[in-house]
A = this chain, B = another copy of it.
């Protein structure tokens, strides 16, 4: 950590800062420049993190040198993490994982139809919401446990794994019974109680990036999970909030190479929520694979006209199947496989 003093800081103020640093068991190194005095601090930065040195008189700013996260960092583990979902499905290796299915589980028929269609096109994980986070209290809220059962059944029938969202810490045991991968939604990325809860679960976790979360905050949310002992975390870019309104959110594909550079965790991309419009899903799915994503999460609905949620961003099964063919080519072009 580096402490920069104000140009008019007094000797007394400097001494006070030095004393505070020493009191924390750290070693201050003072350098007097022509325009500023700076104090380099050697030792574990954590001690300093809890102490607001910025407020000490004479201090202009405090600059951390180390990153605030550890376990998710490539410095902690240099090899990429490969998350095993069971059933032969892994995420993070050469083979891309495609998660597909409806936004929410509406009924048995539509779920089974969709599951068969996406499986035969090459998807290996079935997605579907049983509990839905909806901005409006007047929107469809999901089927609850009945939805979970249907997901499990449809997955078993087709030979896929299940990913579904946890909304309430009280439901975790229920989800653990039915799901292979527990999703934490974007709106709960900083619901720290939920993060601690899944951190103590044995199930892998798919953590979606919050709408206004920086990548550093995204890593810190993952760190909550890893710090409880669960290292099977998959990060999911799903669009951030910006001023642009041509797309529902701004799918931030830059996050893919940034995460790959700084962390060992796998990263997947959700172009359906990220763009909010079905005809942008294909181009952005291909772009995500080209950028280095380890997988995709795509909404498919047999009849988007009557979907109870997110119809406008859902692909028809036949459009999805055509996209999968294109994705195979793009994957091969960057040394990956579907």
Residues of A with Cβ closer than 8 Å to B?
2, 4, 7, 20, 29, 31, 33-36, 38, 40, 42-44, 46, 49-52, 54-56, 63, 65-66, 68-69, 75, 133-140, 167-170, 187-188, 190-193, 210-212, 214-217, 220-221, 223-224, 227, 240-247, 250-258, 260-261, 274-275, 278-280, 282-284, 286-292, 304-308, 310-312, 314, 326, 329-330, 332-334
Contacts known (A168-B193, A192-B133, A287-B291); A52 close to B279, Cβ less than 8 A: no
Chain B residues near A310 (CB-CB < 8 A): 52
Q: How far is the CB of A174 from chain B (nearest CB, A)?
A: 14
A8 shortest CB reach to chain B, Å:
9
19 A-B residue pairs with Cβ-Cβ distance under 8 Å, sorted by A, are: A34-B44, A36-B66, A38-B40, A38-B65, A54-B311, A134-B192, A136-B220, A138-B227, A167-B192, A215-B244, A242-B250, A245-B245, A253-B253, A253-B284, A257-B283, A258-B280, A261-B279, A286-B333, A326-B334
Which of A34, A240, A261, A291 has the most chain B CB atoms inside 10 A of its CB? A291
A257 and B241 within 8 A (CB): no
Minimum CB–CB distance from A333 to chain B (whole Å) comes to 4
Of all chain B residues, which has the CB nearest A191? B191
Q: Are B279 and A286 in contact (CB under 8 A)?
A: no
**Knowing A56-B305, A305-B56, A312-B55 touch, does A254 contact B2 (C-beta < 8 A)?**
no
Per the bound structure, the CA–CA distance linking A170 and B247 in Å amounts to 37
Residue from A192, A210, A221, A244 having most chain B Cβ neighbours under 10 A: A244
A307 to chain B, nearest CB (A): 6
Complex formed: what's the CA distance from A191 to B188 in Å?
6
Instruction: Looking at the assembled complex, report how far the CB atom of A318 sits from the nearest CB atom of chain B, in whole angstroms.
Output: 15
Q: Which of B31, B133, B305, B334 contacts A55 (CB 8 A)?
A: B305
